Amino acid sequence: MGRLGILAGGGNLPQIGMREAIAAGEDPIFLSIAESDFKPGDYPDRVVPIRIAKIGGLLKACKANQVDRLLLLGKVKKEIIFKSLNFDLKAIALLARMVNRHDYSIFKTVAEDFEKEGINIISQKTYLKSLLLPEGRYTKRSLDKKQLDDVEFGMEYAEKIAHLDIGQAVVVVDKSVLAVEAVEGTDQTIRRGGQFAKKRKAVVCKSSKPSQDDRFDLPTVGAETLKTMSESNCDILALREGETIVVNPAEFISLAEKLKIHILSIGRGNVSKINSSQKKLPKN
């Protein structure tokens, strides 16, 4: 077996993935994306910088470091695709083969090409299983019927837009969609939707596709999500069970309680049943 490469963007997930991979006996490296807000944290000696538009350069870096598996973690702003990047020939060839510029089309095309070179992109869950919340309500206060109705309504629409590869989040109130996520990202969607919630606080619903490819772009939330919600008149966050990465779950739930934000992890079961009692985080 060769080496694990973590194709790393901004945020805390690359460092968490690195820590978990090392604990599992791997000898991973960061392939750090220069156009992102990547920070090496405790692992500055494991960083190989790459540029997102230089697919040929990424491939060469993988081969030079015996990387045969890639784990994609961290934020890269979607609008980067609309900037005037200096693509290399490999990237231009791949872009020409893509059906469209949707996230999944890009990831899938690159993954297929890398597989031909003996480099497989693996599930984002591989070293992040502890960050996936089982079904349940994780904060103390239960929801009333109107709130539960909005959660069910919002999760349905969040899943629909995810299926269309538009975004992964919607903001709703009184069974009305106030904002739909697109290229701007979840935080801006929350701000935009929250400004329309006047009489009642809004609900933020985030979902993966019904058949999400877990190698790419799993929904992710963290402390910044909660802070943005608190500033934007939103007090319920509903997530798709087992498909949404929660950065530092214990700290996340503690902050949600402090900010008086409800947290629900929604499966395919009855939402009222989920609401009936508080779920505790699994012990690691």
pLDDT value at position 85?
A: 64
Sorted by sequence, the CB contacts under 8 Å of residue 204 that are 6+ apart come out as 154, 169, 170, 171, 186, 190, 193, 225, 229, 234, 236, 237, 238
Residue 230 forms part of a structural domain = yes
Q: Are residues 58 and 90 in the same domain?
A: yes
Using an 8 Å Cβ cutoff, are 72 and 30 in contact? no
pLDDT value at position 190?
A: 97
- How many other C-beta atoms lie within 10 A of the C-beta of residue 64? 9
Which of these three, 121, 144, 177, is where a domain ends?
121
- How many other C-beta atoms lie within 10 A of the C-beta of residue 260? 12
Who has greater pLDDT, 129 or 270?
A: 129
Which of these three, 70, 100, 121, is where a domain ends?
121
Is 90 exceeded by the pLDDT of residue 141?
Answer: yes
Q: Are residues 113 and 135 in the same domain?
A: no
pLDDT value at position 84?
A: 53
Closest to 201 in 3D by CA, of 138, 146, 240: 146
Q: Which strands, in side-by-side order, build the sheet including 262-266? A: 136-137, 262-266, 234-240, 202-206, 169-173, 176-180
Predicted confidence band of residue 155 (pLDDT cuts 50, 70, 90):
very high
Q: Are residues 49 and 163 in the same domain?
A: no
Q: What is the DSSP string of 200-212?
A: S-EEEEE---TT-
pTM of the model: 0.86
Q: Are residues 154 and 256 in the same domain?
A: yes
Predicted confidence band of residue 19 (pLDDT cuts 50, 70, 90):
very high
The residue length of the chain stands at: 284
Estimate to the nearest angstrom the gap between the alpha carbon of 103 and the chain centroid. 12
Its domain, for residue 107, covers: 3-121
Q: What is the DSSP string of 33-48?
A: ETTTT---TT-GGGEE
